[in-house]
Amino acid sequence: MVASPHGEKFAACLRMLKDRSGRGYDRLGKEAGVSGSSLHRYCSGLSVPTDYRVVHAFAKVCGASAEELREAHRLWALADTERDAPATAAEEGPQPAPEAEREPEPRPGREPEAEPDDVTPAVAATGRSRRFRVPDKLSPRAAVLAAVVAVVLVAGFVWLPGDSTGGDPSASGDKVLDSPACRTVSMGQHDDCVREVQTLLARAKGKLAIDGDFGPETLRRLTAFQVLAGLPATSVADDATKKALYAHQVNMTTWSPARVAKRVREVFAEDPGTAVAVARCASFLDPLYVLPNTNGSRNWGVFQISDARLRDLDGTPLKAFDPDWNIRAAHRLWSVRHDFHDWPSCEAALKNTPRSTPTPRASWPGTGRACPICGTSPPSTG
Can you give 247-285 as a three-state secondary structure string?
Answer: HCCCCCCCCCHHHHHHHHHHHCCCCHHHHHHHHHHHHCC
**Average pLDDT, stretch 185-192?**
93
Q: Which residue has the higher pLDDT, 109 or 280?
A: 280
The C-alpha atoms of residue 110 and residue 107 are separated, in whole angstroms, by 5
CA-based angle 245:246:252, to the nearest 5? 40
Q: What is the pTM for the complete model shown? A: 0.56
Residue-wise pLDDT tens digits, 34-74:
788 888 888 888 888 877 778 888 888 898 887 788 788 88
Lowest mean pLDDT among 74-88, 186-200, 305-319, 354-368: 354-368
What contacts 315, CB < 8 A, 6 or more positions away? Answer: 305, 325, 329
CATH superfamily of 173-247: PGBD-like superfamily/PGBD (1.10.101.10)
Start-to-end C-alpha separation, the chain:
56
Q: Which residue has the higher pLDDT, 29 or 185?
A: 185
The C-alpha atoms of residue 184 and residue 196 are separated, in whole angstroms, by 12
Structural contact between residues 313 and 322, judged by C-beta atoms closer than 8 angstroms: no
Write phi, then psi, for 6 (nearest 5 degrees). -70, -35
Cross-strand pairs, 290: 300
- Cβ neighbours around 169 below 10 Å, total: 19
Looking only at the bridges linking them, the beta strands covering 305-306 and 298-300 are: antiparallel
User: Domain 257-351, CATH 3.50.30.30 — does that match?
Assistant: no
**Per-domain residue ranges for the chain?**
5-84, 173-247, 257-351
What contacts 192, CB < 8 A, 6 or more positions away? Answer: 169, 170, 176, 181, 212
Kindly calculate the radius of gyration of the chain based on its CA atoms and give it in whole angstroms: 31
Residue 249 has pLDDT above 90, yes or no: yes
Residue-wise pLDDT tens digits, 93-122:
444 444 444 444 444 444 444 444 444 444
138 pLDDT band (50/70/90 cuts)? low
Matching fold, domains 173-247 and 257-351: no
Q: Which DSSP helix (H) or strand (E) runs through 306? A: strand 305-306
Helix count and strand count (H, E) for the chain: 17, 3
The C-alpha atoms of residue 39 and residue 54 are separated, in whole angstroms, by 9
Assigned CATH topology for domain 5-84: 434 Repressor (Amino-terminal Domain) (1.10.260)
The C-alpha atoms of residue 259 and residue 287 are separated, in whole angstroms, by 10
150 pLDDT band (50/70/90 cuts)? low
